Amino acid sequence: MAPEPDTMPISVDFLGGLETLFSNNPHHTISLPLLNPSDSSPANVGFLISHLVKNHLKHPRTEFFVHSDGHLTPGILVLINDADWELEGEEECKLQAGDKVVFVSTMHGG
């Protein structure tokens, strides 16, 4: 499949049970628009999250992934190219073609 114009491939993994929200598939390669259409700013992680919710989240219990304000639900760990997203500016972190983003939900059972 040829990449769509004005998009970039991003590798997205969902772990710790989050995969059940995304068609039970832990690994996705998505085509993310280079620019956020709402303000034409370069795509960042915040835009990736809204893109995932709009196009890939196939489950009604969206609160397990995002709050009603569109921000990520607390307790979900995000790694951008193997680094904790807190060190990369969280939602502001700009994405580049081929970046690897991992979402992990924290577990508490035992």
Partner 1 sequence: MEQNSTKERLDGRVTATNGEQNGTSRRLTDEEFDRYSRQMIVPEMGKEAQLRLINSKVLFIGAGGLGCPAAQYVAGAGVGTIGIIDSDVVEPSNLHRQVGHATSRIGMKKVDSLITHLRDLNPLPTYVPYTFPLSPENAADIISQYDLILDCTDNPATRYLISDVCVLLCKPLVSAASIQKSGQLIVLNCPPTPQGKLDKKYPPCYRCCFRKPPPANTQLSCGEAGIMGPVVGLMGVAQAGEAVKILASGLHLPSSTPETPEDDPHNLIQPTLLIYSYDLNAAPGPFTFRALKMAPRKKNCFACGENSPQTLTLEGIRSGNPNYVQFCGIQTAKTTLPIEERMTALAYHVVKQTGILPNHILLDTREKEHFSFGSIDGAVNFPFGKLLMKAATIKRDGGDAEEILPVKSAEDPIFVVCRRGLDSQEAVEKLRELGLDHGGKRKIVDIIGGMKAWKEEVDPSFPFI
Residue 77 touches partner 1, criterion: CB under 8 A: yes
Looking at the Cβ atoms of 25 and 41, the one nearer to partner 1 is 25
Size of the residue set binding partner 1 (CB under 8 A): 31
Residue 104 touches partner 1, criterion: CB under 8 A: yes
The answer to whether the CB of 40 falls within 8 A of the CB of 34 is no
Residue 5 beta carbon to partner 1: minimum distance, rounded to whole angstroms: 28
| CB neighbour list of residue 84: distance below 8 Å, 6 or more residues apart | 77, 78
Q: Taking CB under 8 A as the criterion, which residues in 37-66 touch partner 1?
A: 59-61, 63-64
Nearest to 55, CA basis, from 15, 28, 91, 35:
28
Residue 54 beta carbon to partner 1: minimum distance, rounded to whole angstroms: 12
The answer to whether the CB of 28 falls within 8 A of the CB of 36 is no
The C-alpha atoms of residue 80 and residue 46 are separated, in whole angstroms, by 12
Residues forming contacts to partner 1 in the complex (CB under 8 A) are 13, 15-17, 19, 26-27, 59-61, 63-64, 73-77, 79, 82-84, 86-87, 102, 104-110
